Amino acid sequence: MNTIKQYFYPETTVRGFSSVDRTIQFYQRVNALLRKDMVVLDLGAGRGAAAYTERSEYKKALMTPTGKFATVIGVDIKC
């Protein structure tokens, strides 16, 4: 059974994401700017759960920061 997403974006059944997925574009740009000697400040860091629940291996690799920079400082509000 196809979902509406699969109907309009059939590539999601193969790659796990759509060609118009803005998350991919965002993380590609971020990764292009990162260097191994950088200290990165992640505002609104959250728990990082999105990368662990992602189906697409490519998208998951873009979202996972391990080894891409020296240090990350995550900042988020506590509710």
Domains contained in the chain, number: 1
- Quote the Cα angle for 34-40-44, to 5°: 120
Tell me what pLDDT residue 11 has: 72
pLDDT in tens, 4-44: 767 777 777 776 677 777 888 888 899 999 999 999 998 88
Banded model confidence at residue 51, pLDDT cuts 50, 70, 90: low
**Distance from C-alpha of 8 to C-alpha of 15, rounded to nearest angstrom:** 14
Q: Which is it for the CA torsion 62, 66, 67, 70, positive or negative?
A: positive
Q: Are 15 and 58 in contact (CB under 8 A)?
A: yes
Domain that includes residue 65, residue range:
4-75
Supply φ then ψ for residue 75, to 5 degrees.
Answer: -125, 130
User: Per this entry, what is the length of the chain?
Assistant: 79
Tokens of 63: 């979202």
